[in-house]
Chains A and B, each alone.
Chain A
Amino acid sequence: MKVKSISRTANIAWSPAEQHPIYLAAGTAAQQLDASFSTSSTLELFSIDLGDQDDQAQLSKSIEIDQRLHKLVWGRHGSSGGGTLVGGTDNGKVLLWSAADLFSGKESLLHCFEEHQGAVSALDVNSFQPNLVASGAGNSDIFIWDLNSIGSKSEPMTPGTKSQPLDDVTCLQWNRQVQHILGSTYAGRSVVWDLRKSEPIIKITDSMSRIKSKILEWHPDVSTQLCLASDDDHSPIIQMWDLRFLTSPIRTLEGHNRGLLSLAWCSQDSELLLSCGKDNRILCWNPHSQVQNGEIVYELPNTTQWAFDLAWCPRNPAVFSSCSFDGNISIYSLLGKPSAPTSAPSVIDQSFPNQANDPFVMPTQPQQTKSSSVMLKKAPKWLKRPCGASFGFGGKLVVFKKQPAPSPQQAPQRLVTTYQITTETDFVQKAEILESTLYQGGLPELCVANSENSSNKNDEELWRFIGVHFGAEPRVNFLRLLGFDSTTIQNQVNKFVGPSNKPESMVEQVTNKVNQLQVNEAPGTDAFDQIAASGAASSVGSSTQSSRANSPLTFCTEEAKAEGLATRCLLTANVESAVDVCLHTEKFAEALLLAVAGGSDLLRRTQKTVLQKVATPFTRLLYSVITHDLGSVIETCDLSQWKEALALVITYAKPNEFSIMCDNLGKRLQESGQISDAALCYVCAGNVNSTVACLQSRLALNEIVEVVSVLHKAMLNTQRSDSSVLLGKALSNTLSQYCHLLVSEGKLKTAYNFLDMSNDEAISLLKERIYRFLSASDPQTLRGLSKPQTPFKSYDVKAERKQGAVAQGPGQTAVGQPKNYRQNNYTSSPAPSYGQGYIQTSVYDPNVSNYRQQTPAFAQPVSNYAPPVSNYTPVPSYSQPSSYGQPSSMYTPTTLSNYNPGVMTSQPAYNVAQTTVVSSHNYTPNFSTTLGAQTNNYHQGSNPIQNTDMGIASYAKRKIRSRENSISDNQQSIPPNIFQPAPQTETMPPPMANPPMGMSHSYQDNRPEQAWNDPPPVRQMKPASTIPAPIMTPMPSMGHPQQEMPAPGAPTSFNPTGVFQPTSSQDVAPPPAPVQQPTPEPEQKGPIPEQHEPLQTTFDALRKVCSEKAYSNQMRRKMDEVGRKLEVLYDKLRANSLSENVTHGLHEIINCAKVGDYKTAVAYHSHLATTTNFTEVGSFLPAIKSLLQSADNLGVQL
């Protein structure tokens, strides 16, 4: 793929690998003409931005230079960054520029060495010491310059004494592995210098190499190997040498037609060597390939001009440049989209428009056009991921790496290692403790421990509250935690009231007395009323008692006074009125006392009035308690006294309203920002979800889950309302996150145990996933757990019409999917095809018996498949279809979906179609008629049901297609080829008209179904054996049908060797098809007429015994030969083409042979030989004689 071009005739150098972005330096090439005949020369820098889709490289800097260049290199020497450019000129100068200065537009010429004579056309920078530059020019001069000592006037180094005879140095290159080795070429010889020894260490002369090497290219990895090439048209080859074995090149790459101009060996993949030559071709070789004459892995398409220089981009391994004489520098990528042919008109062409015979422009070679769609054959090394680690479920890390080969002979093991990654040991440890506590008990202790260990008061309280759930009498304990311990309060009361008082007894007395006043007491009044009453009474009572003790009782009788009035009422048992009077005069205590006696109704009313009139906080509380109006307390209480409110709820709330009340209080607190207090309310309520909502911001993930799971467990224990037991969405997310973390630490079982708390979608997903993992890896742990439902709906992804199993596992026989069989029935599929399972078995089972075992299994899924089984006996022939699938492996699949029992019955129709096609293409009559005859026989013989409707339909379709579509015909002709040993994956044998591309293309057009029908003729083979007459003389012409015509459905099975040869084609889907049991030849023929059967039996028996007893290979071979001759005899017998004289004689012979009288038999034989027509018996009689003689010699007794 061409990515950039620059219209210059120039020598180029890529920026060093360190440089980013990438630049290309171009210096006007010496001895080249520009379209303008300008003699100016420039040094230019182009920015190569591969992300930019413009195909013209962007010129970024340009300077005028004095001399045109023969060679330009770019090394990384220099402190300023950007490196140093080195150019060799026509007149012996070596120029140095600083790239950084060039970029910044400053004066960039650093220095000029002028020691050389002639053009400096060889230059190289040492890659280990970028300050060392080697240059070569005329007079065999090679100088090595140290850029660190520019201007010191010191003489340049030389690698040794000048190589004689004096010549131009054409190429220099430092070794790419050993820094002090320098390679050089002169006209006709190559010299390798060792700079430490200052002498040439190796010289390859043209008498050794027989090429006038002009170019030298070191192996990027192997220090002792290099390639040499010559621009001589007589030896357009590349030689690869190993300096340790100098007798001859280790490899020769032959592919160019004319001399070579440049070589470039990819430093990142030494299996890629680029070359260009005067034949306009740019080739990429795999120099390591063992292919004779070298393997070309890629040819650059559409090159019509000589390229004189090639260079890999040091930074981007797939990119290289070529400079051509047509004034273009092109930058290519080895990969990428194959570009459409774009032949930019050469600049020079434009200047000389009438150049009819431009020697540079060669007609585009046909293979070049072809290669435009072909990609680099071999995957480049830089695409090969050497090492990788991927996370899997459960914190597993799956890692593969490059493995060193244990020895050069052994292939390295290809290992995949699974690691368990644990990073949160603390987290995991806590989770495990929590898990075990949850399931093995110890939760109260855990709560205590947590509260003791907590760092702040909030957490301490929180855990205390949670802990209460596990104890007895949680309400009492909640009260105590809120600071309302009843004993403490009692003590305080005692202290307050004084130790001598006995309030309980007093209360009792008063109550009793008051009770005596009751007129009609309603039973079962509210307990709280009594409490309130006794509370109220006690304060009243104590004063009454003291007054009673001190003075005698007098009745107040003053009517005007309220007291008197009340007394009067009381005396008349008008309690209600007495109460009214008391209330009116604000004698609340009296009113209440009286009301107690007046019944619950009166009492309630009185209480209400009293409380309304006495509006202190205390009375409000009293009122709430008495009226059991806790809700309003919760709603209205001052939130700073939430503890009291909560205590009230804890003390008085009924069990069914307790949680709600706590919740409501919590909500108010939460809204007002008292989050921690709210949490405690929620804890009391046992509301897991809300508790956590309050804690979310305060606690770490694991602490939250700890609270959740403990509280959850508590709720389960007390069996409170269900709503609090299942976690809400937000909490489920938190839990899911926690469990995912556990899972990613490899603690799947622990995580699983936490997942019961929610049935959220994410949780169910995780649950099922863990279950499946554990059931595979550690089924023990799942004991007693039920299998979770699959939390998602499964889709069954249907296969396309063309499908098939290709996989072969150990012991796996890919049997088609029953579902598919049913779903894709015959009618939905235009062309019937064979059951895939069937093909699988027949292809891969080396022996028939094995096949038979498979068959029932296959028949199982589709019950109505069973009957046709017998028809399926022609096993071997089926091997073809799947092999046929090779060229494009998507082909094989055809079978999968389309299996249908109907296939068998409709098949004959295809055979007819096949025959029609054959004849319409004018094949040898012999061929087609035989085929036709056979086909028909097959119909009659073994297939009573001939044409189903579909059969006819598809027959018609088939026929039309076959005639109209020659492509399909060609395709059909392909299968036979496959069975020839095919050396290459994609290539078809040469006689094929269709290029491989065409083929795979047509496969994509759903052609397969059609082509799939090809095999029918093959299938006829076995059934034919059951048919009496038609003689199948071996048909040599059919052995290699593909050489004759692209015969549709050419029956490969006629050539059993062809069929059963395992092909070497690389893309054989399954292991190269195990050899089928070849159908024995006699089976293909009809039986011998009954009266002559003894002849066959006896001769065969004799031959068999002789073969067994044979003491030498020679004799065995003789018996084989006899066998073949006997076949001729049998054929003649079948055809009834022997005269009675002959058959009579033969029977005489066997009669003697049967009793072991071989002498007489031979005599009969001689008689027969002399009395019959030699043309009639000559083909087999000598064999019979050999047989008889052998039997005699070996003493065979039948």
Chain B
Amino acid sequence: MVSVLNTIDTTHEDMIHDAQMDYYGTKLATCSSDKNVKIFEVRGGQQTLVATLSGHDGPVWQVAWSHPMFGSLLASCGYDRKVIVWKDTNGSWSKLHEYSSHDSSINSVSWAPHELGIMLACASSDGSISIISTTGDGAWDSKKINNAHTIGCNTVSWAPALTPNSVLGGQNQESYVKRIVSGGCDNNVRIWRQHDGEWEEECKLDGHSDWVRDVAWAPSIGIGKDMIASCGQDCRVLIWTNEGDSWTSTTLNTFSDVVWHVSWSMMGNMLAVSGGDNKVSVWKQELNGGWASVSDMSDRD
């Protein structure tokens, strides 16, 4: 069942490329080809534009909210080869950090699980992935995975800090894993793991026959296994699962158009799929392991 809660006219002057709720679901950030990021406050069905963040020189592709532990931080990335981290201090937004060490469009930005500290990964059309981090004292450190995806990396997503097996186990710092999954123009999904401070490729998931547009690692909260959704230019959504030490894929569905975006629900039990044909659908895993569409929002507006 799907019901419309509200609709916001963002007043962006060009296409919107991303819209994300913050941790508490009380703020909405949007970004657009008009180079701006906008922040809305959502209060009881009413939305107010609270800030317009200008700092990018080109289309802004993605925005990502940090965990509130680090204050209200928003990361944005764009065609101008920049990642900007914005900070909200009592309603006043300022630029906290700007990272511009990529040679091409930065297509995706993603915060690490809060257990890992202030850390984010970004994926660029120059084929590389950067992992930038700070201890909060103002100095930022960066690590780069060069040539992660030849001719372009489109997307990056973090694994939960706790592996499904360790959820109930000890939670000391050592048990946290730093893993990311990325997708790119080489049609591959790749998993990277930090080992002795360096990022190494853990495995390559070969399944798509065209550009991988988006990947999303499922949250570990509701499911006892590692699960990744990937989608792409080949109009398919693949679900990758790992219950032991190998990944297997199942095709969630083949759509009629390019699939641009996949997003897990907080429990990892639902997946929202957005296609180039303007269609959004929500899928849910059934008891037999298959996936079924629970609602299709395309006919609703």
A and B form one complex: yes
| A residues apposed to B, CB below 8 Å | 1, 3, 20-21, 50-53, 315-316, 318-319, 333, 335-338, 375, 379, 383-402, 411, 413-423, 425, 729-730, 733, 736-737, 740-741, 743-744, 769, 772-773, 776-779, 792-801, 803-810, 812-817, 819, 836, 889-890, 892-893, 896-897, 985-986, 1000, 1004, 1066-1070
**Contact indicator A1004/B8 (Cβ below 8 Å):** no
Q: Which of B21, B94, B140, B274 contacts A388 (CB 8 A)?
A: B274
**Contact indicator B136/A797 (Cβ below 8 Å):** yes
Q: Which of A50, A417, A798, A799 contacts B301 (CB 8 A)?
A: A417
B25-33, B172-180, B192-200, B241-249 - the one binding chain A:
B25-33
Q: A383-B59, A389-B282 are in contact. List 12 more A-B contacts (CB 8 A).
A: A20-B210, A51-B187, A337-B127, A379-B79, A417-B4, A422-B3, A423-B270, A772-B26, A776-B25, A794-B68, A795-B69, A808-B52
**Contact indicator A889/B126 (Cβ below 8 Å):** no
**Contact indicator A50/B92 (Cβ below 8 Å):** no
**Contact indicator B127/A415 (Cβ below 8 Å):** no
Please indicate the chain A residues that have their CB under 8 angstroms from the CB of B8 in the complex: 415-418
Q: Provide the bound-state CA to CA distance between A807 and B56, in Å.
A: 12
Q: Provide the bound-state CA to CA distance between A779 and B273, in Å.
A: 32
Please indicate the chain A residues that have their CB under 8 angstroms from the CB of B26 in the complex: 772-773, 776-777
What residue of chain B has the Cβ atom nearest to residue A792's Cβ? B69
**Contact indicator A396/B25 (Cβ below 8 Å):** yes
- Whether B138 sits at the interface, judged by CB under 8 Å, is yes
- Whether B163 sits at the interface, judged by CB under 8 Å, is no
Chain A contact surface mostly? loop
**Contact indicator A740/B267 (Cβ below 8 Å):** yes
**Contact indicator A375/B105 (Cβ below 8 Å):** yes
- Whether B202 sits at the interface, judged by CB under 8 Å, is no
Q: Which of B19, B50, B274 contacts A812 (CB 8 A)?
A: B50
**Contact indicator A817/B73 (Cβ below 8 Å):** no
**Contact indicator A398/B151 (Cβ below 8 Å):** no
Q: Which 4 A-B pairs have the closest CB atoms?
A: A392-B21, A51-B186, A807-B93, A393-B25
**Contact indicator B79/A797 (Cβ below 8 Å):** no
What residue of chain A has the Cβ atom nearest to residue B97's Cβ? A800
**Contact indicator A398/B23 (Cβ below 8 Å):** no
Which of B17, B19, B50 is the most central at the interface, judged by chain A CB atoms within 10 Å of its CB? Answer: B19
Please indicate the chain A residues that have their CB under 8 angstroms from the CB of B276 in the complex: 386-387
Q: Provide the bound-state CA to CA distance between A316 and B55, in Å.
A: 31
**Contact indicator A3/B21 (Cβ below 8 Å):** no
Please indicate the chain A residues that have their CB under 8 angstroms from the CB of B7 in the complex: 415-418
Interface size on B, residues (CB 8 A): 126
Which of B25, B261, B264 is the most central at the interface, judged by chain A CB atoms within 10 Å of its CB? Answer: B25
Q: Which of B138, B221, B261, B266 contacts A387 (CB 8 A)?
A: B261
Please indicate the chain A residues that have their CB under 8 angstroms from the CB of B221 in the complex: 736-737, 740
| Shortest Cβ distance from residue A795 to the other chain B in the assembled complex, whole angstroms | 5
Q: Which B146-165 residues sit within 8 Å CB-CB of chain A?
A: 147, 149-152
Please indicate the chain A residues that have their CB under 8 angstroms from the CB of B35 in the complex: 1066-1067
**Contact indicator B24/A337 (Cβ below 8 Å):** no
| Shortest Cβ distance from residue B54 to the other chain A in the assembled complex, whole angstroms | 5
Please indicate the chain A residues that have their CB under 8 angstroms from the CB of B86 in the complex: 807
Q: Which B254-280 residues sit within 8 Å CB-CB of chain A?
A: 260-261, 263-267, 269-270, 272-276, 278-280
What residue of chain A has the Cβ atom nearest to residue B234's Cβ? A20
Q: Provide the bound-state CA to CA distance between A117 and B139, in Å.
A: 73
**Contact indicator B152/A318 (Cβ below 8 Å):** yes
**Contact indicator B25/A893 (Cβ below 8 Å):** no
- Whether B11 sits at the interface, judged by CB under 8 Å, is yes
- Whether B225 sits at the interface, judged by CB under 8 Å, is no
Q: Provide the bound-state CA to CA distance between A803 and B209, in Å.
A: 44
Q: Which of B5, B14, B274, B282 contacts A418 (CB 8 A)?
A: B5
Q: Provide the bound-state CA to CA distance between A386 and B280, in Å.
A: 11
Q: Which of B1, B136, B261 contacts A795 (CB 8 A)?
A: B136
Q: Given A335-B152, A384-B59, A1067-B57, is A799 in contact with B94 using a C-beta cutoff of 8 Å?
A: yes
| Shortest Cβ distance from residue B180 to the other chain A in the assembled complex, whole angstroms | 18
Q: Which of A316, A396, A805 contacts B94 (CB 8 A)?
A: A805
Q: Given A318-B185, A337-B103, is A741 in contact with B79 using a C-beta cutoff of 8 Å?
A: no
**Contact indicator B15/A384 (Cβ below 8 Å):** yes
Q: Provide the bound-state CA to CA distance between A620 and B12, in Å.
A: 86
Q: Given A421-B2, A806-B95, A815-B92, is A401 in contact with B278 using a C-beta cutoff of 8 Å?
A: yes
Please indicate the chain A residues that have their CB under 8 angstroms from the CB of B25 in the complex: 392-394, 396, 773, 776-777
Q: Given A383-B105, A773-B24, A778-B44, is A797 in contact with B87 using a C-beta cutoff of 8 Å?
A: yes
| Shortest Cβ distance from residue B175 to the other chain A in the assembled complex, whole angstroms | 15
| Shortest Cβ distance from residue A1128 to the other chain B in the assembled complex, whole angstroms | 44
**Contact indicator B151/A336 (Cβ below 8 Å):** yes
Q: Provide the bound-state CA to CA distance between A390 and B12, in Å.
A: 19
Q: Which of A389, A729, A741, A807 contacts B274 (CB 8 A)?
A: A389
A-B CB pair tally, cutoff 8 Å:
375
**Contact indicator A741/B11 (Cβ below 8 Å):** no
Query: What are 20 A-to-B residue pairs whose CB atoms are below 8 Å?
Result: A333-B152, A336-B127, A385-B260, A389-B282, A390-B261, A399-B297, A400-B18, A419-B4, A741-B222, A776-B41, A776-B43, A777-B44, A795-B69, A805-B92, A806-B55, A806-B95, A808-B52, A809-B52, A813-B92, A985-B57
**Contact indicator B263/A390 (Cβ below 8 Å):** yes
Please indicate the chain B residues that have their CB under 8 angstroms from the CB of A814 in the complex: 92-94
**Contact indicator A379/B54 (Cβ below 8 Å):** no
Please indicate the chain A residues that have their CB under 8 angstroms from the CB of B118 in the complex: 795, 797
| B residues apposed to A, CB below 8 Å | 1-26, 28, 30, 32-33, 35, 39, 41-45, 49-59, 61, 68-71, 73, 79, 81, 86-87, 89-98, 100, 103-105, 107, 114, 118, 125-128, 134, 136-140, 147, 149-152, 167-168, 185-188, 209-211, 213, 221-222, 234, 260-261, 263-267, 269-270, 272-276, 278-280, 282, 284, 294-295, 297, 301
Please indicate the chain A residues that have their CB under 8 angstroms from the CB of B128 in the complex: 337
**Contact indicator A812/B91 (Cβ below 8 Å):** yes
Please indicate the chain B residues that have their CB under 8 angstroms from the CB of A385 in the complex: 17-18, 61, 213, 260-261
Q: Provide the bound-state CA to CA distance between A387 and B126, in Å.
A: 24
Q: Provide the bound-state CA to CA distance between A423 and B89, in Å.
A: 37
Q: Provide the bound-state CA to CA distance between A817 and B128, in Å.
A: 35
Q: Given A52-B150, A420-B2, A795-B136, is A402 in contact with B10 using a C-beta cutoff of 8 Å?
A: no
**Contact indicator A799/B138 (Cβ below 8 Å):** yes
Please indicate the chain A residues that have their CB under 8 angstroms from the CB of B294 in the complex: 421, 423
Which of B125, B261, B274 is the most central at the interface, judged by chain A CB atoms within 10 Å of its CB? Answer: B125
**Contact indicator A413/B9 (Cβ below 8 Å):** yes
**Contact indicator B94/A398 (Cβ below 8 Å):** no
**Contact indicator B95/A804 (Cβ below 8 Å):** yes
Q: Which of A387, A741, A817 contacts B92 (CB 8 A)?
A: A817
**Contact indicator A1066/B57 (Cβ below 8 Å):** yes
Please indicate the chain A residues that have their CB under 8 angstroms from the CB of B187 in the complex: 50-51
Q: Which of A397, A741, A769, A1070 contacts B272 (CB 8 A)?
A: A397
Please indicate the chain B residues that have their CB under 8 angstroms from the CB of A810 in the complex: 49-50
Q: Provide the bound-state CA to CA distance between A1182 and B280, in Å.
A: 78
What residue of chain B has the Cβ atom nearest to residue A419's Cβ? B2
Please indicate the chain B residues that have their CB under 8 angstroms from the CB of A836 in the complex: 94
Q: Which of A53, A396, A414, A1070 contacts B54 (CB 8 A)?
A: A1070
Q: Which of B23, B136, B263 contacts A769 (CB 8 A)?
A: B23
Which of B50, B95, B261 is the most central at the interface, judged by chain A CB atoms within 10 Å of its CB? Answer: B95
Please indicate the chain A residues that have their CB under 8 angstroms from the CB of B188 in the complex: 51
What residue of chain B has the Cβ atom nearest to residue A338's Cβ? B103
Q: Given A51-B188, A337-B126, is A388 in contact with B71 using a C-beta cutoff of 8 Å?
A: no
**Contact indicator B103/A423 (Cβ below 8 Å):** no
Q: Provide the bound-state CA to CA distance between A1050 and B292, in Å.
A: 67
Q: Given A51-B150, A741-B267, is A423 in contact with B94 using a C-beta cutoff of 8 Å?
A: no
Q: Provide the bound-state CA to CA distance between A805 and B86, in Å.
A: 9
**Contact indicator A391/B265 (Cβ below 8 Å):** yes
Please indicate the chain B residues that have their CB under 8 angstroms from the CB of A389 in the complex: 261, 263, 272-274, 280, 282, 297
Please indicate the chain B residues that have their CB under 8 angstroms from the CB of A777 in the complex: 25-26, 42-45
What residue of chain A has the Cβ atom nearest to residue B301's Cβ? A417
Q: Provide the bound-state CA to CA distance between A400 and B18, in Å.
A: 7
